Amino acid sequence: MVRPRYTLPGDLAPASLGDRRRFYQRGMDYSSAREWMSSPPGERVYALILGRHSGIYPRRFRHLKNVPLVIDDVLDVRDLRPYLVKYLPEGVYYDRNIYASLAAARKAHVDYAHAWRSRLFLGQELAFDLDPENVDCPIHGDVVAKMRRHQGLSFCDWEFEEVRRQAAVLYDELSRRWTDLRIVYSGRGFHVHVFDEEAFRLTRKQRGRIAARYAHRYAIDEWVTSGEMRLIRLPYSLHGMVSRTVVPVPRPDLEKFRYDDPRAVPRL
């Protein structure tokens, strides 16, 4: 069966370097991002992706365009601003690991990818990443068909509405066990974050079991929930592939939330 090619719905399109500069100089709500990162106590690592997916990046940083640029000396999100204005990344992420002290972690040469046994490691935020490419679309096919056509980053309205529906069901299901849940519109799909203290202390084995259980029924990225993939988009940053602000969405607003919601459309 020949599936139609597709790109992005509505007016979604990659942000130019000028758009990114305007956003990170004047458009970003750094205070709300700081608030998001303020709990639980501990220090976090940030990472920037300059141009891996969009192919748009400042020419002088072409040697860095595909690799996560790790920032481990920023304790207040507002201090990320000079980095964002300098590197103009297509995506801004934080590592869900939490450390007692990044200064001590740097000194001890802690490998952030294998930090679980470090005495400086305090825990990891539990998160679920729902992406439209993981949805089986009646028009565009499943993730395998989409990847074969190199369209893993495209999505359609049907896929968006399906991941939104799944995010609502997943949130409600998780609410039976956890109490402090937050939904974030990620630019393409949705993230569900668990902020309960107990969730930060889950072992890798427990996370693996949770990931396997939910991946069975939801279009989630299993590697995010299991903790193998630790990076997640920073709320209030810009998703450079679609020119949308990553924003928390209160559960009552979710059913009607669309990617053209005023909260998600940056003034560029």
Residues contributing to the site for Zn ion (CB under 5 A): 137, 139-140, 156, 158-159
DSSP state of 234: P
Q: What is the three-class DSSP state of 176?
A: coil
Minimum CB separation from Zn ion for residue 158, in Å?
5
Q: How far apart are CA 92 and CA 102, in angstroms?
A: 19
Taking the least distance from each CB to Zn ion, the nearer of 137 and 264 is: 137
CB of 126 to Zn ion, least distance (A): 29
Coil, strand or helix at 185: strand
Question: CA–CA separation, 245 vs 215, rounded Å?
Answer: 26
Report the nearest approach of Zn ion to the CB of residue 121 (Å). Answer: 40
Nearer to Zn ion, 145 or 215 (CB): 145
Using alpha carbons only, give the angle 142, 147, 151 rounded to the nearest 5 degrees.
95
Number of H-type helices and E-type strands within the chain: 9, 12
Element (H, E) at 124: strand 121-124
- Amino acid (one-letter) located at 187: G
Nearest residue to Zn ion, by Cβ distance, number only: 137
In the sheet with 190-194, reading across from the earlier edge strand, the strands are: 126-130, 190-194, 181-185, 247-248
Output 143 or 168, the one with its CB closest to Zn ion. 143
Taking only Cα atoms into account, the Rg of the chain, rounded to an integer number of angstroms, comes to: 18
C-alpha torsion 259→20→227→207, nearest 10: -30
Judged by beta carbon, residue 158 or residue 178, the one nearer Zn ion is 158
**Closer CB to Zn ion, residue 137 or residue 224?**
137
Cβ–Cβ under 8 Å, residues 149 and 237 = no
Instruction: Give me the least distance between CB of 10 and Zn ion, in Å please.
Output: 14
Rounded to a whole number of angstroms, the minimum distance from the CB of residue 141 to Zn ion is: 8
The residue among 75 and 139 lying less far from Zn ion, judged by its C-beta, is: 139
Minimum distance from CB of 264 to Zn ion (Å)? 20
> CA-CA distance, 128 to 131, in Å (whole number)?
10
Could you tell me the smallest distance in angstroms from the CB atom of residue 164 to Zn ion?
Answer: 14
In terms of CB distance, is 137 or 249 closer to Zn ion?
A: 137
